[in-house]
Amino acid sequence: MSLSSSIYNTVMRKNWAFVGVIFAGAFGADIAFDVYAQRFWDWKNQGRQWKDIRQKYALSEEE
């Protein structure tokens, strides 16, 4: 049995399995897109976000 026929028999032949693979792929792609978009945003706006400049403006506990 070739690889393509085994993939077809396990994933594509039954509708519930095919839909499950589609949903799992979409879920994984969504997580990957969110992670990489957040990394790009942090890299592009480094030094201009609140998490980067908070120590300049937040009151210290001694004051």
The larger pLDDT score, comparing residue 34 to residue 17, is at 34
Which H/E stretch holds residue 42?
helix 15-44
**Cα angle at 49 between 43 and 54, to 5 degrees?**
130
Q: In this model, does residue 42 exceed pLDDT 70? A: yes
Q: Domain map of the chain by residue range?
A: 3-53
CATH class of 3-53: mainly alpha
| Stretch 7-25: mean pLDDT | 91
| Stretch 41-63: mean pLDDT | 83
| Stretch 9-37: mean pLDDT | 94
**Residues 11 and 18: beta-carbon distance below 8 Å:** yes
pLDDT of residue 25: 97
Query: Over pLDDT 90: what percentage of the chain?
Result: 59
Instruction: Please count the residues of the chain.
Output: 63
| Stretch 4-29: mean pLDDT | 92
